[in-house]
């Protein structure tokens, strides 16, 4: 078994991502700071966080932190450069991951609005419900105070069951 260059411990996946004393305190701080900014409760950074992957925002946060830890490890091993993971980097990447689903949601809604304009009133009501549902689904998966989304004016009337949408 190979030893971790940062701390000399056995280099297992669990050790690298959850137990390495070289970065665990910084990782815990970044994870909880970001969770709080996203309006979620804090969690201890350990293997049990993988139970929260059903929430898209948290799953992406975990993936970003894993990638940063792995990049930090590889920089030390291959380039002998010690880097620090900064919470601003993690937050910037998390916001980027949120942008794509919002763009997809908007595209579906805009297509639905184009179809709606050619329908009878009863069909238009069904499409209005579909648009509200799409906004609600996006909000449940991605809504967080971390980054506010400016809801376009033409969509505000569909936002009856949501508080402010965040981006």
Domains of the chain: which residue ranges?
A: 13-85, 98-158
User: Could you tell me if residue 8 is left (phi over 0), alpha (psi between -120 and 50 degrees) or otherwise beta?
Assistant: left
Please tell me the distance from the alpha carbon of residue 70 to that of residue 75, in angstroms, as a whole number.
9
Q: What is the mean pLDDT of the chain?
A: 86
List Cα–Cα distances, 44 to 18, 50, 51, 119, 146, in angstroms: 10, 11, 12, 51, 20
Indicate the range of 57-71, 97-111, 148-162 predicted with least confidence.
148-162
* Per-residue pLDDT, 164: 45
Residue range 143-164: mean pLDDT, rounded? 65
């Amino acid at each position: 078994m190979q030893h971790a260059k940062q701390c000399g411990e056995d280099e297992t996946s669990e050790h690298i991502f959850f137990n390495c004393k070289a970065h665990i305190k910084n990782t815990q701080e970044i994870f909880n700071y970001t969770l709080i900014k996203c309006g979620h409760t804090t969690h201890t950074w350990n293997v049990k966080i993988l139970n929260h992957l059903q929430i898209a925002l948290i799953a992406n946060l975990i993936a970003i932190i894993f990638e940063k830890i792995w990049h930090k490890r590889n920089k030390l091993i291959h380039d002998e450069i010690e880097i620090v993971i900064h919470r601003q980097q993690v937050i910037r990447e998390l916001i980027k991951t949120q942008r794509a689903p919002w763009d997809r949601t908007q595209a579906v809604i805009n297509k639905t609005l184009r179809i709606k304009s050619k329908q009878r009133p009863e069909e238009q009501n069904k499409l209005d419900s579909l648009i509200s549902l799409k906004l609600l689904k996006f909000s449940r998966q991605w809504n967080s105070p971390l980054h506010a989304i400016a809801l376009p004016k033409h969509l505000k009337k569909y936002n009856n069951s949501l508080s402010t949408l965040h981006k």
